[in-house]
Structure 1
Amino acid sequence: MSKTFSTLKKVILYTISILSLLAITGYVYLYVLPKGPEISEKNKINSGIDSFVIHAYKESKRKSIRVWTYKPEGWEDQDKIVFVMHGGGRNADDYLDAWTEIAEENNLLVVAPEFENKFYKYTTNDYQEGNLFTFFGTSNPKSEWAYTVVENIFDYIKSTNNITNERYYMFGHSAGGQFVHRMVILMPEARIETAVAANAGFYSFPDESIEYPYGLKNTGISLENDLQKSYKKKLIVLLGELDNDPALGTFRTTELAMKQGGHRLERGSNFFKMNQELSNQYSWTFNWKIDTVSNVGHDYRKMSENSVGWILD
């Protein structure tokens, strides 16, 4: 009996040691070692398709990020700048391609950050959840939030290209739609003029009792003190009329996600309704809108085309 117990104890200790070693190795790889492509030289954005690489954080050189751009020949200072946030596939170049014709027709400088991650199929915390927390659940400083990275990119573009724009526009689809609506909620001070969150897979509902990213628990956001700032921002919840099939794209089916609705169309409608009711309860200004695009499903190209009206308005 004592021999069996001793063997079991050794097995348990060995297992714990292996798991601890894996956790430490994973943490060092993800959060200590430098990540990303090589930093590019500081140059002005060229017309047509271009890209550059900068340090993602202003206070650290640990992570770099590639940023794709498209600039029409006729674009000038004070013309509109649109950040386009890719989906869960981290395919910023594809999203840029979807916006090149739109940019030409409407004279828009398109900026598409690429939140590269080799493990994107297994991790979502670093992008669509804003990098508030590490994969291991520990908090990240606000200076390393993914939303802060967008602000840093805007500062870089302004300083490198002698741009005086004080505001930018934003569009995101699917995982990018998650990114956009959470940025409006969690960083209302961001310099966004109008944000369009299209076909998000699930949302951060205004509920302090539900863990983030499904609710706002542990984010530091207070419903009474902070959300009214977010409601003053212009956020468009853009939904595809045919995005009612859970089989489309990557669809989260956890218990908390399913409570939001059975498909993306329902979840987006419920999210908007709950925020609207909360703003009415406190008599707050509410500048959010909801729009449903007819005969379109989970299609980032068609949703991009249908978002332009809100950006130009």
Structure 2
Amino acid sequence: MNKTFSTLKKVILFTLSVFLILAITGYVYLYILPKGPEITEEDKIDTGNDSFVMYAYKESTRKSIRVWTYKPESWKDQDEIVFVMHGGGRNADDYLDAWTTIAEENNLLIVAPEFENKFSNYTTNDYQEGNLFTFFGSSNPESEWAYTVVENIFDHIKSTNNISNEHYDIFGHSAGGQFVHRMIILMPDNRIETAVAANAGFYTLPDENLEYPYGIKNTGISLEKDLKKSFKKKLIVLLGELDNDPSLGTFRTTELAMKQGAHRLERGTNFYQMNQQLTNRHNWTFNWEIDTVRSVGHNYRKMSENSISWIVE
């Protein structure tokens, strides 16, 4: 019996040691070692397709980010700037391609950040959940939130291109739709003029008893102070009429996610209605809108085309 107990004890200690080593190694790789593509020289954005690489954070050189752009020849200072946020595939260049014709037709400077991550199939905290928390659950400073990175990119573009714009618009589809609506909720002092969150997989609800990312518990966000400001922002919840098939794309099926609805169309509708009811109860300003695109499902190109009427209206 003693021999069996001793062997079991050794197995347990060995297993715990392996897990500890893996956890430390993973943390060092993800949050200590520098990562990202090589920084490019600061230069003005070229007409047509272009890209540059900058440091993601203003106070650290630990992470870099590639930013894809498209600028029509006729675009000039004070013309509209639109950030386009990719989906879970982290394919910013594809999203940029979907917006080139839209950009030419509406004279828009398109900015598509690429939140590259080799482990994006397993982690969502760094992008669509805003990087508020590490994969291991510890808090990140606001200076390293993914939403702050967007604001940093805007500052970089302004300074390197002599741009005087004070605001920008933003569109995101799927995981990008998650990113956009959470940025409105969690960073209400952003410089976004119009935000379009299209076909998000699930939402952060105005519930102080639900832990993030399902609610706002543990985020430091309050209903009275912060969400009240968020509701004053112009957010469009854009839904595809045919985005009612949970087998399309990556669809979260946890218990809390399923409580939001059986598919993206239902979840988006419930999210909008819950926030509308909250603002009605408190008699708060509510500048959010909901729009359903007919005969379109989980398609970022079609949703991009149908978002433009909200951005350039």
Correspondence 1:68-147 to 2 at 5 A: 68-147=68-147
Alpha-carbon distance between aligned partners in 2 of 1:33 and 1:154, rounded to the nearest angstrom: 26
2:280 counterpart of 1:275: no
Question: How high is the TM-score relative to the length of structure 2?
Answer: 1.00
Correspondence 1:86-235 to 2 at 5 A: 86-235=86-235
Alpha-carbon distance between aligned partners in 2 of 1:222 and 1:164, rounded to the nearest angstrom: 32
Correspondence 1:28-67 to 2 at 5 A: 28-67=28-67
Alpha-carbon distance between aligned partners in 2 of 1:310 and 1:29, rounded to the nearest angstrom: 41
Unaligned runs of 5+ in 1: none
SS of equivalent residue, structure 1 residue 274: helix
1:115 Cα shift?
Answer: 0.1
Write out the 4+ residue segments of structure 1 that deviate beyond 3 Å after TM superposition.
Answer: none
2:250 counterpart of 1:250: yes
Alpha-carbon distance between aligned partners in 2 of 1:225 and 1:156, rounded to the nearest angstrom: 29
SS of equivalent residue, structure 2 residue 223: coil
1:226 Cα shift?
Answer: 1.4
1:152 Cα shift?
Answer: 0.1
Spell out, residue by residue over 1:250-306, the C-alpha distance to the aligned partner (whole angstroms, 9 max, x if none): 111010000000000000000000000000111000000000000000000000000
Alpha-carbon distance between aligned partners in 2 of 1:72 and 1:110, rounded to the nearest angstrom: 9
Question: How high is the TM-score relative to the length of structure 1?
Answer: 1.00
Tell me the number of residue pairs that the alignment of Structure 1 and Structure 2 aligns: 313
1:6 Cα shift?
Answer: 1.1
Alpha-carbon distance between aligned partners in 1 of 2:131 and 2:284, rounded to the nearest angstrom: 29
Unaligned runs of 5+ in 2: none
Alpha-carbon distance between aligned partners in 2 of 1:245 and 1:14, rounded to the nearest angstrom: 45
1:164 Cα shift?
Answer: 0.1
1:225 Cα shift?
Answer: 2.0
CA RMSD of aligned residues (A): 0.4
Amino acid in structure 2 at the alignment position of 1:257: A
| Deviates most, 2-11 or 27-36 | 2-11
Alpha-carbon distance between aligned partners in 1 of 2:18 and 2:119, rounded to the nearest angstrom: 21
SS of equivalent residue, structure 1 residue 52: strand
Match of 1:293 in 2: 293
Q: Percent identity?
A: 81
Match of 1:5 in 2: 5
SS of equivalent residue, structure 1 residue 226: helix
Spell out, residue by residue over 1:95-153, the C-alpha distance to the aligned partner (whole angstroms, 9 max, x if none): 00000000000000000000000000000000000000000000000000000000000
Match of 1:263 in 2: 263
1:91 Cα shift?
Answer: 0.1
